[in-house]
Amino acid sequence: MADDDSYIKDPAARLPYTWDWTPWLAEIADTIGSVTVAVPDGLTAVGVPVVDDGFVTQRVEGGTIDEEYRMVCQITTAGGLIDERSIYLTIGNR
């Protein structure tokens, strides 16, 4: 995953979006200690973020046609480092 990824999402879809932290975590020899995902108004987070090794996945639904939304995943590593990455969703019929 690049630092910032962009996707087109249908407003009726409930889909998972994943941040891949594994390359960065390997570089710093660390692991994910905790995570938060900020989902903006207009989108709805479905459940909590799921951490699987160096991947963080959040399911989302909703959105308004032609709007762009920025979801932010922030992790704190076991070693105390903090970083965040964004995913941009543009809502359109698919």
Host domain of residue 52: 4-87
Residue 61 lies in a domain: yes
Provide the token pair at 3: 């630092």
Residues 69-77 have a mean pLDDT of 98
Alpha carbon distances (Å) from 33 to 43, 50, 84 = 26, 12, 13
Alpha-carbon span 11 to 32, nearest angstrom: 31
Residue 10 lies in a domain: yes
Alpha-carbon span 68 to 66, nearest angstrom: 7
**pLDDT beyond 80 at 16:** yes
pLDDT tier at 24 (50, 70, 90 boundaries)? Answer: very high
Residue 56 lies in a domain: yes
- Tell me which H or E stretch contains 35: strand 32-38
Tell me the CATH number at 28: 2.60.40
pLDDT tier at 23 (50, 70, 90 boundaries)? Answer: very high
Residue 94 lies in a domain: no
pTM across the whole model = 0.92
Number of separate domains in the chain: 1
pLDDT, tens digit (0-9, with 9 covering 90-100), for 27-58:
999 999 999 999 999 999 999 999 999 999 99
